[in-house]
C-alpha cells in the first residue's frame, strides 16, 4: 500500500501534562506538533490530517504558526480537522479524521510520541500477509496494544460511530469491536512508541532528543550563586555515574584563570618559552595545555572528550538538559528555563535527590545506547 496517509492526534485535555502538548517546544526550534508534521512531510505520505479535538485556539495556532509557513506544495497535503463528536478523546479524533480522509489507509501518530518513525508504519504493512484487515496495531514492550500508533482504514468509520454511541469510548475498546485487527510485535521498538504524558516525561524526553544530536551526551549543573554546592553535586554525580558503568568527563569555567602545570617542569618551561600548546602523556594520565586568545567554548571542549557523558559546571544558564543546585529554603528565581531544567537538587538533600537523578540519566543513556552504546570501542551498561 504505497498511498499511506498520516493522522496526527494533537488534541486532548493534557490533564497530566498540565498544558497543551502540541505546542510544547522540542529541539532545533521545533514544537512537538511541527516535529511530527515535518516527519510526515519528509516521509512523503500522501496527505496529513491534524486532529485538534474541539480546541479552536489550538487549531488557529497550528494554522498560523506552522502550516502557513509551509511551501504551497506542502500546504496542499496538510489539513486540520476538529472533532465532530465532542469529549470522545483519541477515538473522537480518529473518527473525525478518518471521516474526511481520502487515502486508502492512515497511520496514526500521537503528538506526544516524538520518537515515532514513519518508516515503521511501512515496515508493519509489509509484515501483514493478507489485505482484509481493518487495523494494524503494534504491541509494545509491556505487552499492551498501542492503538495510538496504529494503521486504520477509513472504511471502519461506521464501526467507530457505533462505538462512540456506546458507554465505552476508549480507543482500546474500539479495537475490540471493529474486528480484523492485525497485531504486530513491536517490543523491540519501544523507544519509538514512548510517549510523554507528564511534564517530567517531556523534560527527559527532550533531554534525550537534545543529546541524540551530540557526539558526546552532556548535562549541565548550574546555580544562581557561588558557594551553592555545584562542585559537591558534580563530584557526587561523577562517583555514582561511574558506579553504573559510565565514564564521565567534567568541564568547568574559571573566570580568574588557573595554573594546571607545575612550576619548573619541562612542559611549564616550554609553555613559558612561548609554545602555543604542550602535552604530556604518562602511563595513566594525559594532559594538554593550549594557549588561547579568549576563553574556550565549554560545549566544544566537551565534544572532544573520550567519555560516555560530560558534566558542564557553570554559573551561567548552561546547556540543556540542566540541573540547578539550590540551598535549603531557596527563594530566589531559578536562572535556568523550566523547559530546559530536568531536575533541581537541594544541597542538603543529596541522598534523596541524586539517586533519582542518576536513574533518569541511566535511562537516557540506555535509550541513546540501545543498551549497547559504544564509545572508543568500549560498551557500557552491557
Residue 273 backbone zone (phi > 0: left; psi -120 to 50: alpha; other: beta): alpha
In the predicted model, is pLDDT for residue 221 greater than 60?
yes
* Domains of the chain, CATH where assigned: 4-193 (3.90.550.10), 199-253+295-375 (3.40.50.300), 259-290 (no CATH)
Report helix, strand or coil for 360: helix
338 versus 39: the higher-pLDDT residue is 39
Q: What is the pLDDT of residue 13?
A: 60
Average pLDDT over residues 27-54: 92
Banded model confidence at residue 153, pLDDT cuts 50, 70, 90: very high
Query: Per-residue pLDDT tens for 267-319?
Result: 778 877 878 777 777 787 777 777 777 776 888 888 888 999 999 888 776 88
| CA 298/CA 118 separation, integer angstroms | 36
Cβ contacts of residue 341 below 8 Å, gap of 6+?
203, 321, 322, 323, 324, 334
First to last CA, the chain: 39
Task: State what percent of residues in the chain have pLDDT above 90.
Answer: 40
Average pLDDT over residues 326-345: 81
Amino acid at each position: 500500500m504505497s498511498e499511506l496517509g498520516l493522522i496526527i492526534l494533537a488534541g486532548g485535555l493534557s490533564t497530566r501534562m498540565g498544558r497543551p502538548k502540541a505546542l510544547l517546544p522540542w529541539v532545533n526550534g521545533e514544537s512537538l506538533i511541527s516535529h511530527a508534521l515535518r516527519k510526515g512531510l519528509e516521509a512523503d505520505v500522501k496527505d496529513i490530517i491534524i486532529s485538534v479535538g474541539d480546541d479552536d485556539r489550538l487549531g488557529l495556532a497550528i494554522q498560523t504558526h506552522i502550516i502557513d509557513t509551509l511551501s504551497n506544495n506542502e500546504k496542499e497535503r496538510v489539513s486540520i480537522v476538529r472533532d465532530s463528536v465532542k469529549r470522545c478523546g483519541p477515538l473522537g479524533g480518529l473518527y473525525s479524521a478518518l471521516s474526511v480522509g481520502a487515502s486508502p489507509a492512515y497511520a496514526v501518530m500521537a503528538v506526544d510520541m516524538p520518537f515515532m518513525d514513519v518508516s515503521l508504519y511501512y515496515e508493519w504493512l509489509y509484515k501483514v500477509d493478507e489485505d482484509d484487515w481493518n487495523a494494524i496495531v503494534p504491541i509494545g514492550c509491556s505487552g499492551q496494544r498501542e492503538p495510538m500508533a496504529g494503521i486504520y482504514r477509513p472504511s471502519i468509520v461506521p464501526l467507530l460511530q457505533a462505538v462512540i454511541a456506546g458507554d465505552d469510548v476508549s480507543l482500546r475498546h474500539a479495537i475490540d469491536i471493529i474486528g480484523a485487527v492485525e497485531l504486530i510485535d513491536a517490543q523491540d521498538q519501544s523507544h519509538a512508541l514512548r510517549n510523554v504524558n507528564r511534564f517530567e516525561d517531556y523534560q527527559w524526553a527532550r533531554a534525550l532528543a537534545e543529546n541524540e544530536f551530540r557526539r558526546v551526551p552532556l548535562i549541565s549543573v548550574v546555580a544562581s550563586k557561588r558557594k551553592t554546592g555545584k562542585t559537591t553535586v558534580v563530584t557526587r554525580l561523577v562517583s555514582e555515574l561511574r558506579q553504573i558503568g559510565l565514564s564521565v568527563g567534567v568541564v568547568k569555567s574559571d573566570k580568574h584563570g588557573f595554573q594546571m602545570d607545575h612550576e619548573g617542569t619541562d612542559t611549564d618551561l616550554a609553555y613559558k618559552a612561548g609554545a602555543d600548546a604542550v602535552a604530556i602523556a604518562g602511563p595513566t594520565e594525559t594532559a594538554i595545555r593550549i594557549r588561547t586568545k579568549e576563553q574556550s567554548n565549554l560545549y566544544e571542549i566537551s565534544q572532544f572528550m573520550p567519555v560516555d557523558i560530560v558534566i558542564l559546571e557553570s554559573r551561567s544558564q548552561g546547556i540543556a538538559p540542566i540541573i540547578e543546585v539550590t540551598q535549603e529554603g531557596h527563594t530566589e528565581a531559578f536562572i535556568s528555563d523550566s523547559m530546559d531544567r530536568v531536575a533541581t537538587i537541594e544541597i542538603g538533600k543529596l541522598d534523596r535527590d541524586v539517586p533519582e537523578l542518576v536513574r533518569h540519566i541511566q535511562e537516557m543513556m540506555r535509550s541513546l545506547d540501545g543498551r549497547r552504546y559504544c564509545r572508543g570501542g568500549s560498551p557500557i551498561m552491557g
